[in-house]
Amino acid sequence: MGSLTWRLRFTPESPFMPWVTQNPIRTAEDVQTFQYLVEHTDFRLSLRGFQEEKAYVGDRGIVAVLGPVSPLQQMVNFDAGLEQVAYLLADSPAEMNEMLDTYNAKQIDMCEDARAGPGRHLLHP
């Protein structure tokens, strides 16, 4: 289908925050490869981290289940960068819209699964 590569840089000043130096999505072909990856991504709710945090926090607070950022924000922040997202939306709108719709649907599925977990009361009224 294709390949996506990206480069990250870790610095001593922020050892746990990677800085994207090369985004994985740079062309319309990369958008199609990324869509293929999204379509074929499976996920399972893992409660291990949640239970560890809940035990650590105890009665001192609430452990929240946070959802992902929107697909467009993910593309701007990590996958393509602001400038490239603007170019891709202008030059390849059909490919971008299809990929963003697919990505959004996958995220909705993920949130529905998370909602069934122990943090369910934090994800809906």
Q: List the one residue out of 123, 99, 104, 103 whose CA is nearest residue 113.
A: 123
Contact yes or no for 38/102 (Cβ under 8 A): yes
> What predicted TM-score, i.e. pTM, was given to this entire model?
0.77
58: left (phi over 0), alpha (psi -120 to 50) or beta: left
Return per-residue pLDDT of the chain as tens, 125 residues.
899 999 999 999 988 888 889 999 999 999 999 999 999 998 877 777 878 888 999 889 888 777 788 999 999 999 999 999 999 999 999 999 999 999 999 999 888 877 776 655 554 44
The CA distance from 18 to 11, in Å, is 8
pLDDT at 110: 85
